[in-house]
């Protein structure tokens, strides 16, 4: 299930219509072929993202460890955003939303409050809305931190919210996919209902058409920016999930002859259509806010990511009739979307570790999941500080998007060039009764690697200029960000060296053995499934 947060973050960087073409191209030639490839791999070899490589190309086993580290990094910051949403949800349980007035203890003299019926408000560059000050000064308290060099204390309110989030996560996944699958029926379907409600409400707001035009109107000059292509690729990977180990994990529980080809086409199509629908939900409200402030939509949408959810959208909801109702369902939707993604991400790690160490962890799944959740909570403490929002932004820009793209590049090279497209297509034929078409083969062998390599080189040549609120990230944070990103996929060359050094025989024999797949065996997976049930 795709998530609203990353849609806001990628769609709303001022690229709008220019984003749709790269997004569509990355989906057709990158996201969907990789989605299909991972489903087929997981279903055929019935293994998670670590142990599967001994059946594909043993020397690339480090890819699985890299995927697990990336999943941990995401858990460190992604669940913090859910904690913010939970704080907003609890704050919404009152007749008057607290981010509607400027008379609170956290407000400043620049606070400018207005109601939806007042269209003559004077909005200047120095004005701040009560929603902005509620988010930055009350929830995040970011004004108490000068930057990444001095994060400040941990907010105990957010720490309790995050503890509650991880408690839900633990009791949803501790028994395995059968338990989490039942929870997902709620977390995956409720957001669609809320999206439709918000879409209808947004379409009826004054000025909504301005946001829709801004969303759909192409800006061809933006296509020359590498940021657009990187954002499109990152959005596809976050939406569809290749490179996170999730598809491998869930597909490994499928029946051997399940039609994963149909699953790939239907799921990816629904996901991309949901992304497109979410764009209308977001931009109708942005057009409404631009109408109220008498500004351009580009000025309202200048800050991407959480700011759009917790400032712009929250402010728009506050000025609607029945504001409390819309606030409750909106932030409840954000939490459910986040939980849905967290279940999948952590299940990818759990399945990988249980497959790799079945006789140690299979009967101790509950304790292992508990330890994993504790590690994720402790790792997230830095994002709960007064400067935690700066840490979230750093993780998002460097530790996830570029790292995932690099891992997926290595994955598709290992499958297509080392394991072999012919062998892989034979596996698909054995499962489904037909061979993948020419389009899929060309994508796996050439188009996907070229796309991904282009994006990685572009990112290294033109790293993003990171800023959040009024804080411009200094140069040393770029170095820190690169170190965080490299720390995950450094597992790949490290394991290659380890594998070659520990194997027996001459160097040629060791090299040949390291690229020769081992026969698949389902015994360990049967043990895991039995204990999970």
**What are the binding residues?**
239, 271, 337, 340-341
**Contact between residue 169 and residue 342 where contact means Cβ atoms under 8 Å apart:** yes
Distance CA 533, CA 528 (A): 9
Residue found under tokens 């993003």? 464
Distance CA 317, CA 308 (A): 12
Distance CA 49, CA 348 (A): 7
Binding-site residues for Na(+): 239, 271, 337, 340-341
Distance CA 351, CA 365 (A): 10
Distance CA 132, CA 99 (A): 8
Query: With 0-12 CB in 10 A as exposed, 13-18 as middle and 19+ as buried, what is 93?
Result: exposed
Distance CA 440, CA 30 (A): 10
3-state secondary structure 231-295: HHHHHHHHHHCCCCCHHHHHHCCCCCCCCHHHHHHHHHHHHHHHHHHHHHHHHHHHHHHHHHHCC
Distance CA 392, CA 32 (A): 28
The closest alpha carbon to 441, from 431, 453, 449, belongs to 449
3-state secondary structure of 471: strand
Structure tokens at 77: 């910051």
Structure tokens at 260: 């994963």
Instruction: With residue 156 as reference, give the H or E element that holds it.
Output: helix 156-173
Distance CA 102, CA 100 (A): 7
Structure tokens at 7: 């849609």
**Contact between residue 136 and residue 142 where contact means Cβ atoms under 8 Å apart:** yes
Q: Which residues pair with 150 in a beta bridge?
A: 147
Distance CA 260, CA 46 (A): 13
Distance CA 354, CA 346 (A): 12
**Contact between residue 148 and residue 476 where contact means Cβ atoms under 8 Å apart:** no
Distance CA 286, CA 301 (A): 7
């Amino acid at each position: 299930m795709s998530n609203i947060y990353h849609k806001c973050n990628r769609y709303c960087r001022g690229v709008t219509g220019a984003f749709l073409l790269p997004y569509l191209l990355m989906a057709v030639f990158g996201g969907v072929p990789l989605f299909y490839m991972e489903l087929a791999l997981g279903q055929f070899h019935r293994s998670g993202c670590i142990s599967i490589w001994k059946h594909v190309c043993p020397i690339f086993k480090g890819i699985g460890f890299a995927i697990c580290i990336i999943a941990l990094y995401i858990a460190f910051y992604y669940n913090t955003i859910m904690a913010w949403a939970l704080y907003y949800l609890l704050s919404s349980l009152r007749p008057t939303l607290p981010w509607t007035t400027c008379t609170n203890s956290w407000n400043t003299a620049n606070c400018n409050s207005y109601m939806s019926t007042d269209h003559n408000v004077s909005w200047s560059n120095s004005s701040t809305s009560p929603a902005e000050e509620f988010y930055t000064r009350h929830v995040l308290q970011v004004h108490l931190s000068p930057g990444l060099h001095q994060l400040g204390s941990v907010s105990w309110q957010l720490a309790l919210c995050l503890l509650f989030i991880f408690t839900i996560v633990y009791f949803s996944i501790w028994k395995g996919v059968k338990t989490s699958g039942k929870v997902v029926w709620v977390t995956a379907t409720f957001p669609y209902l809320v999206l439709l409600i918000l879409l209808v409400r947004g379409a009826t707001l004054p000025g909504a058409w301005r946001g829709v035009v801004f969303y759909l109107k192409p800006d061809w000059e933006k296509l020359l920016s590498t940021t657009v292509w990187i954002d499109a690729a990152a959005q596809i990977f976050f939406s569809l999930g290749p490179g996170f180990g999730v598809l491998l994990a869930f597909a490994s529980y499928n029946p051997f002859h399940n039609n994963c080809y149909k699953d790939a086409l239907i799921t990816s199509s629904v996901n991309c259509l949901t992304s497109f629908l979410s764009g209308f939900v977001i931009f109708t409200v942005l057009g409404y806010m631009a109408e109220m402030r008498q500004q351009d939509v580009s000025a309202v949408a200048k800050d991407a990511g959480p700011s759009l959810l917790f400032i712009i959208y929250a402010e728009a909801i506050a000025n609607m009739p029945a504001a409390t109702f819309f606030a409750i369902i909106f932030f409840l939707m954000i939490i459910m979307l986040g939980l849905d993604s967290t279940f999948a991400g952590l299940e990818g790690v759990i399945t990988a570790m249980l497959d790799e160490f079945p006789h140690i962890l299979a009967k101790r799944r509950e304790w292992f999941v508990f330890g994993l959740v504790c590690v994720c909570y402790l790792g997230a403490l830095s994002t709960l500080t007064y400067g935690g929002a700066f840490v979230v932004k750093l993780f998002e820009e460097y530790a996830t998007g570029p790292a995932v793209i690099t891992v997926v590049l290595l994955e598709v090279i290992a499958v297509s060039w080392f394991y072999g497209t012919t062998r892989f297509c034979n596996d698909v034929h054995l499962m489904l009764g037909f061979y993948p078409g020419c389009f899929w083969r060309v994508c796996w062998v050439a188009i996907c690697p070229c796309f991904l390599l282009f994006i990685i080189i572009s990112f290294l040549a033109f790293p993003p200029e990171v800023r959040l609120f009024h804080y411009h990230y200094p140069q040393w944070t770029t170095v820190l960000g690169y170190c965080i990103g490299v720390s995950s996929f450094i597992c790949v060359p490290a394991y290659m060296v380890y594998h070659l050094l520990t194997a027996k025989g001459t160097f040629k024999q060791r090299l040949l053995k390291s690229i020769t797949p081992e026969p698949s065996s389902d015994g360990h997976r049967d043990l895991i499934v039995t204990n999970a049930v």
